Chain A
Amino acid sequence: DADVTQTPRNRITKTGKRIMLECSQTKGHDRMYWYRQDPGLGLRLIYYSFDVKDINKGEISDGYSVSRQAQAKFSLSLESAIPNQTALYFCATMTGTGALNEQFFGPGTRLTVL
């Protein structure tokens, strides 16, 4: 089984709808991240969490919210989806403190907002 899983893998929704993307991990890592990937823009950080009680905004958090339900679960919500939120979304985890460890990424969720 994959260490970092994301559901759904693909989602098509309409403008104004609320949608939740879920991420689960079995690696036992404290740190979890949500990124979006757009062609030519690379990965941009939406939110990150260093433990269950710690939630931080990334560079593009507007229009998004998150919930860290447990060490293993980190959900991303779009309260009212808009077309420019169409993108590939990745969840990632990291162990330890500081920044010398690599991140582990889920397979991604392809979201289309019509």
Chain B
Amino acid sequence: AQSVAQPEDQVNVAEGNPLTVKCTYSVSGNPYLFWYVQYPNRGLQFLLKYITGDNLVKGSYGFEAEFNKSQTSFHLKKPSALVSDSALYFCAVSPSSGGSYIPTFGRGTSLIVHP
């Protein structure tokens, strides 16, 4: 069975500092990996995904994520945090072959960027 772990319930960072939101996964075979963001009173919004190829993936709003196969990780990063980045972030994984291709989501990490 596939699973996602987001080890931090909350990440606090000062505006202008770099941020990292951690995600590790478990899946049979090669993974498809996703990050979504949820702003208050809104649905989830796609940020970026890793399918294949370059391990560094760039997405919306200046976010990027690095796929590390040996560590089974897909951490979300941004070089300089903004107060407006404060939101709930979800990592998700799907198997690239076999199964029903249903994504599994992590429990979410609340990012708080302080002015």
> In the complex, what distance in Å separates the CA atom of A103 from the CA atom of B44?
9
A12 at the interface (CB under 8 A from B): no
Q: Are A90 and B43 in contact (CB under 8 A)?
A: yes
Q: How many residues of A contact B (CB 8 A)?
A: 23
For residue A98, which residue of chain B has the nearest CB? Answer: B101
> In the complex, what distance in Å separates the CA atom of A108 from the CA atom of B36?
15
For residue B101, which residue of chain A has the nearest CB? Answer: A99
With a CB–CB cut-off of 8 A, which chain B residues contact A99? 32, 94-96, 101-103
Q: Are B49 and A102 in contact (CB under 8 A)?
A: yes
> In the complex, what distance in Å separates the CA atom of A103 from the CA atom of B43?
11
CB-based A-B contact count at 8 angstroms = 56
Residues of B whose CB lies within 8 Å of any CB of A are: 9, 32, 34, 36, 41-46, 49, 51, 90, 94-96, 100-103, 105-108
Q: Which residues A53-92 have CB closer than 8 A to chain B?
A: 56, 58, 90, 92
For residue B9, which residue of chain A has the nearest CB? Answer: A40
With a CB–CB cut-off of 8 A, which chain B residues contact A48? 102
Task: Provide the main secondary structure of the chain B interface.
Answer: loop
Q: What distance in Å separates the Cβ of B97 from its nearest Cβ neighbour in chain A? A: 8
> In the complex, what distance in Å separates the CA atom of A64 from the CA atom of B95?
26
Q: Are A40 and B100 in contact (CB under 8 A)?
A: no
With a CB–CB cut-off of 8 A, which chain B residues contact A97? 101
With a CB–CB cut-off of 8 A, which chain A residues contact B100? 56
For residue A105, which residue of chain B has the nearest CB? Answer: B43
Q: What distance in Å separates the Cβ of B112 from its nearest Cβ neighbour in chain A? A: 16
A106 with B43, Cβ < 8 A, contacts A99-B101, A100-B51 known: yes
Q: Are B107 and A100 in contact (CB under 8 A)?
A: no
A105 with B45, Cβ < 8 A, contacts A41-B107, A42-B105, A100-B32 known: yes
